[in-house]
Amino acid sequence: MLLDPVIPIPWIVSIGIVMLAANGYGYLRSGRRLGPARNVFLLVMRCTGLLGILLLLLQPSREEEVVVPVAEKSVIIGVDVSASMAAPHSTGATRLDAARADLAAAGISRSAGGRHQFFTIGEGAAPILPEALETAAADGKSTRMDRSIGGLLRMPGTAQASAMILLTDGHDFDLVAPGETARRARARDLPIFAVPYGTMESARDVSIRIANYHPHTFVRQSTRLEVFIRTLGCANEILQVDLLLDGKPVQHKTLETGREPFHQLDFSVTHEEPGQYEYSFRVAPLPNERELSNNIATTYLNVIAERLRVLEIEGAPFWDTTFLRRSFARNDKFDIDSLVAFTGNRVRPIRSNPDRAVGDLVPPKSVEDLKAYQMVVLGRDVERVIGLDGIRALESWVKDYGGVVIFSRGQAWPQGENVAAELEPINWNTGSARGVRLEVTPQAGSVPAFRLLREVAEADEFPEVIAFPATSEPKALAATFSVAGDQSPAVVYRRYGRGQTLSLGVGNLWRWVFNPKAEYDNNAYDRFWDQLALWLLANNGVAPLEGYSLRTDTANLPLGETVRLRFGVHGNALPVSAPALVILQGDEQVTNLAMEPGAEPEQFVAEFTPREAGRYRAQVATAGGKHVTAQFMVFREKLETTETAMDVTYLEQLCKASGGRVLDVSELESLVESLLRDTADQPPLMRRIPLWDRGWIYLLLSVILSCDWYFRRRWGLS
């Protein structure tokens, strides 16, 4: 029995001695007349009550053993079965066979009482029996680590796992930062360990991809068709690249690969007649090349006969304004008019087309003044040029008439003006800039300008630009196309009414012109603005043609992405109902889609996600019985079988951020034993049970003391 006294035991003993002595003396002195029997009875009752109270002060208790149930923990074993695991390991065996052999050597090829949980990873995660793992094939089409690890965390039975061990080559095509993937595992207290497989060399392969897409180009204009060529394991080779028009060679170039894996090549073409032309780029195969299907890429060039008109408004001239105007002026697709504020109230009109009189160019005050333009580009402090009435007219032009506005330098007018607040897709603090490098979001993957930015920026080593912090969240229906390094918005796009707005919270893009790796006449700055403007105008159905038009937002679509098609009516009566869109692959019909009304009354839109690679043709029947067509090419990126180099850097970042590390295969057995050691029997716990807090004890003490009081009064004692 254990004691837990309320006050120190010596004090309790002292109190007991004093109280018992006083009570004994009092009863013996005052109870003489009662006789010995009654006096002893009262003394016993009083002393028993006092001893009970003293016992309560000691708070006695006892201990008993509590058996601790065994918490069976487990280890998640994730084995990569994507196609890249069929490539050789350093031992000469395939990577998947090497992983199976290492599991067997570590003694974990069979589930030890359910404590080894086996899963396959690749395009996702799936449970697998150890017996089935021995015959599993490395045939996954892609490696998506974020999706796979997220699937493992959601699997039933993985909640009690002590760690996750991945046997993989480290490929990841999810485009999710490893720290973000690791954060979810760390939140579950689940460290990730990885055993890397493979070598640092990729398969021998040459692949070619279209670098730019021209929604429109113009007759007799020299148009640059560009491709990216990636060479893996093909150092110091000479490649023969042919340009084909409708399947017939028209130009060719040679390319020396050197030691660089990425190369850019371009061909210039011109056409005397409008129409749609099919161009293909073809690279002659090399000896022992792994994949030949990616040696050809096809795009479509749309040739039209009228220039597009752009208005630039700048109230605070800077280098960005000058370079942007010169970029549009050098581009044969555009006529650009500029209104630039100078000292005082002076506004200088500038026109890129010398055949148009400068004197006719005045600041727009109404929607009618803006209807002559397809796009307006705003700089800073534009209220100095067009006033608040001009800003209100600009908002109406976008919302009600389908205009396109680009905020090229952040906030175009002070926020305190409280005018056209909904026109801007986001608000910026242009007084607080910082140097950043831009990153493209998945939402902008199908936008040619941002695809160019993503694919060229790293190779060209663009200098930093400046970014302005956002003072608000992106507004409803807005999409973030680019972010800074801290993932804060940098470029935001938004549909507003019938029109579109795009806001760049960045500056100093003109520095791209002076990138030492780029040609001045073919720099990424000019190409970025060219493709961005054409994409926005194509979204609005801008096509300077009479009759009908059918446009796609890209002519070269990776398999799995969605192509957007727009059917426009120009100068003809609108159809009574939405037209039907027929999609054909070769001569076979794939699907029949009902188009929906677009932002403009004369525009109809539809979306289509191909399931197979190949050449597609979209077709709409017009009221006159004719067919309007648009063509696009769908290609499959076979990165799993070409980019086979082991990515240890990705695995190190993933493991470290989750609390784990990259393992040598010799550590696998000891690590698993260490992780499962906590599942052994635990010593029992001791639980203390009080003996004094019982109801019958308080009842007994009450009866004893009550009897003492009752008989004392009955026998005449005070």
Chain segment 439-458, per-residue pLDDT in tens: 888 877 678 788 777 766 55
Q: Which two tokens stand for residue 616?
A: 């597609």
CB 63 within 8 A of CB 688: yes
Dist. CA 96–CA 168, nearest whole Å:
8
Dist. CA 713–CA 718, nearest whole Å:
6
Q: Residue 243: what are its φ and ψ, rounded to 5°?
A: -105, 125
The pLDDT confidence band at residue 291, using thresholds 50, 70 and 90, is confident
CB 243 within 8 A of CB 217: no
**Could you give the count of Cα atoms lying within 13 Å of 7 in the half-sphere of its Cβ?**
9
Q: Please tell me the least confidently modeled range out of 258-262, 546-550, 558-562.
A: 546-550
Residue range 542-554: mean pLDDT, rounded? 66
CB 488 within 8 A of CB 469: yes
Q: In the chain, what is the greatest distance between 2 CA atoms, to the nearest angstrom?
A: 142
Residue 541 has pLDDT above 60, yes or no: no
Using a pLDDT cut of 90, give the percent of the chain over it.
Answer: 22
* Residues counted in the chain: 718
Dist. CA 284–CA 242, nearest whole Å:
8
> What's the confidence (pLDDT) of residue 542?
52
3-state secondary structure of 620: strand
CATH number of the 202-305 domain: 2.60.40.10
The crossing angle, in degrees rounded to 10, of helices 178-187 and 145-154 is 10
> What's the confidence (pLDDT) of residue 546?
46
Statement: 308-539 belongs to CATH 3.40.50.880: yes
* Nearest CA among 314, 308, 307 for reference residue 363: 314
Write down the residue that tokens 């004392």 correspond to: 712
Do 547-637 and 202-305 have the same topology in CATH?
A: yes
Residue range 409-415: mean pLDDT, rounded? 87
- Residue ranges covered by each domain of the chain: 2-67+686-714, 74-201+644-679, 202-305, 308-539, 547-637
| 547-637: CATH topology | Immunoglobulin-like (2.60.40)
Using CB atoms within 10 Å of the CB of residue 255, give its burial: 0 to 12 exposed, 13 to 18 middle, 19+ buried. Answer: middle
Statement: 74-201+644-679 belongs to CATH 3.40.50.410: yes
Tens-digit pLDDT profile for residues 355-411: 777 778 889 999 999 988 989 999 989 999 999 999 999 999 998 888 899 999 888
**Could you give the count of Cα atoms lying within 13 Å of 452 in the half-sphere of its Cβ?**
24
> What's the confidence (pLDDT) of residue 364?
92
β-pairing, 296-304 vs 275-283, is antiparallel
Residue range 611-621: mean pLDDT, rounded? 88
Dist. CA 155–CA 521, nearest whole Å:
55
